[in-house]
Each structure stands twice: as structure tokens, then as C-alpha cells.
Chains A and B, each alone.
Chain A
Amino acid sequence: MNNSANENLRELLAGFMDESAARQTAEDIEKGEEILGANQAPQPDERVLAEVKKNVVAALRRRRTVVFQRRILGAAVAAAIVVVSVLTLIRYGDQTNSQQTRVVAKSVSIPSRVWEGADDADVTVLKAEIDNIQSELSGAQSDDGGNTSTAVGDLETELIEINGDMWKG
């Protein structure tokens, strides 16, 4: 560690001035620091340090929660993409097997407790977007018209974009 105690002040000053000026300057600095040492600032109360520690622990727990929520969110978005992809394949592959489609689509549902207590704006915005997609997906599922495959394809694109945003932070 290169700190003040290991520093040769006179040698350092000699690079900028002659020897006698360096000696005088070093003495001014050392005496000045001695005066500072003899007139220390007041110490913080133990109560203050305890409060700081409390705030630090709270900040640490908040950070852990946010990291956890982001991981869960990432996993949920990835799972949703897989599910929508499978759903698309099923739609294209076997138009008549609607029962199977319904079962797979249900697994898109994301546990609500993941979001409880979320105070992160990004997480909240992404949650809203996922909720929106979930409701659109339910609508698409019950849609008997000929546009179902297109709607599911759009949803898949949207989910891929959200996932991209998510990993960009």
C-alpha cells in the first residue's frame, strides 16, 4: 500500500525545488499535520454508527431482493418465450389438437408472489408488460377466427423484445 506513512516527503519535494526549500516545505507539512492530529474532529456517537450499520444492512437486503426479482423475471420471460414457441409449433403442426394447446398455454402464468413488495421501476414496468401479454395470450387462445397464428406470432416477437430489454438492464 502506498500511503502517506510510506512516503518520503523530502525526496518527493526535492523533485520540484532545491534541497533547503524542500526541507522547509516538508517541515511545514509535517508540523501542520501534527496540529491537525492534536485537534481531532469530534467522534460520532455509537448511536450514529449503529444507525449507519442498520441502514447498510437494509440497503444490502433491498439489493438482494432486486437481484432475486430480476433473476426470477428473466427466468419467467425465458419460460414464456419457450411456451409461446411451443404453442406456435403446436398451432402450425396440429390445428386440431386444441386441448394440448390449452394445457401448454396455462403454464405461462407467473406466480404473483414474485412481484409482491417490488419497488424497482423496471421490474414493475416489465411486470405490466408480461401481464398484458398474458391477457392477450388468453384472448388468442379463445379466439376461433383465422388470425390466431398471427396473434401468437406477434406475442412471441413482443416477448423476445422484452427479454432483450431485460438483459440490457
Chain B
Amino acid sequence: MAQLDIDRVIIGCNKGDEGCFTQLVDMYGKRCFGYFYRLTGNRDLSEELLSELFVKLVEKISTYRGGSFDGWIFTMASHIFHDHLRFKQRQTRLLDEHSRRIRSQSAGIASGYDGDADKMQIVLGELDSDVRELVMMRFYSQMSFKEIAESRREPIGTILSKVHRGLKRLRELMG
């Protein structure tokens, strides 16, 4: 997708053009859905988070100050995913202080998987949640390691090491 196209669409969004916002959904909807699905393993929840992301975009588009739009939108997607995790953790605490919390931390969000999860989804569930999120961020956002490091405010060496560890493990498990 050409940078000029994105720039034109973003200018339209800033003017409140409905057509430009729907174009953004066409440009990023599938990739963002894939990102949410690989993190949650749940189709319904991914649909919900996708909708939340684009509604949030309407409020926040004016805060985009140039640079990689892919990086910007996936950073927002990551915040929405984390908000969801925090909400889920609060719910879990209310329901059952001990057993539920332990399950959510050890198995991540695997408990929410669809019945028809593919092998990749199951393998991803084996990765540490932070590593899994970084691998997905890198794959779906197509951000460079430098951009990911800036977005996460972590040293680039740490990001490289985590993504390498995650992808190597994924390769072993899928092999």
C-alpha cells in the first residue's frame, strides 16, 4: 500500500470524511483482525476488539503526528488488547480470586480459544505472552525492529532477543 494513499486517507479522516474512515477499515481491518485473533484465539472477541479499535481511531486520528501509520495503529491495537486483558483480570478476580487468576497467568488467554483453533494458535499459546505479542506485532504491523523498540520503549537488543526466541520456538514446535 503506497504511503501517498495512506497520507491522502488520513488527511480525509482528519476532515471527518466517512469514506476515508471506511477506506481505513478496508486497508487495515484484516491485518488487525489477524493480530487480535492470534492474541486471543477467539473470533467473537477479535471482532469486538476490532470494532473498538476503529471507533477509538475516530477519536484519536487527530493525534497522529506523522511517521509510520502502521506503527501508530498497531500500537493503539496493542493498548486495546492490554485494556481488555486488564478488564478480564479484574473480572477474574471478582469471580474467583485464586484459581481463575492462576489460570489466566499461566495459560495466558488460551482458555478463550475457539473450538476450531488451528495448530498455529495452539503453538502460539505455548509462548510467553509478552514474546507472543511481540512476534504478532512484528508480523502483522510489518514494523521494523527499531519502530517496535520505540513504540514499546524497550531497547532494540531486548526486542530482537525476544522475537528471535519466540520465532525459534515456534519453528521447533511447528516443525
| B168 neighbours in A (Cβ, 8 Å) | 28, 32
Q: Is the Cβ of A41 less than 8 Å from the Cβ of B33? A: yes
**A103 proximal to B (CB < 8 A):** no
B71 shortest CB reach to chain A, Å: 8
**B63 proximal to A (CB < 8 A):** no
Interface of A (DSSP majority class) = helix
A11 CA to B35 CA in the complex, in Å? 28
Q: How many residues of B contact A (CB 8 A)?
A: 49
Q: Using a Cβ cutoff of 8 Å, how many contacts connect chains A and B? A: 126
**A118 proximal to B (CB < 8 A):** no
Interface of B (DSSP majority class) = helix
Q: How many residues of A contact B (CB 8 A)?
A: 38
A51 CA to B54 CA in the complex, in Å? 11
A28 CA to B16 CA in the complex, in Å? 44
A76 CA to B147 CA in the complex, in Å? 47
Stretch with Cβ within 8 A of B (4 or more), from A2-10, A105-113, A156-164? A2-10
Stretch with Cβ within 8 A of A (4 or more), from B75-83, B93-101, B104-112, B138-146? B138-146
| B145 neighbours in A (Cβ, 8 Å) | 4, 7, 9, 12
B7 shortest CB reach to chain A, Å: 11
**A42 proximal to B (CB < 8 A):** yes
Stretch with Cβ within 8 A of B (4 or more), from A55-63, A85-93, A127-135, A139-147? A55-63
Q: Is the Cβ of A4 less than 8 Å from the Cβ of B143? A: yes
Other 4 A-B pairs with CB < 8 A, given A1-B3, A2-B146, A59-B59: A28-B167, A36-B120, A48-B47, A60-B58
Binding site for A on B (CB under 8 A): 3, 16, 18, 21-22, 25-26, 29-30, 33-35, 37-38, 43, 46-47, 50-51, 54-55, 57-59, 68, 70, 118-120, 135, 138-139, 142-147, 156-157, 160, 163-164, 166-168, 170-171, 174
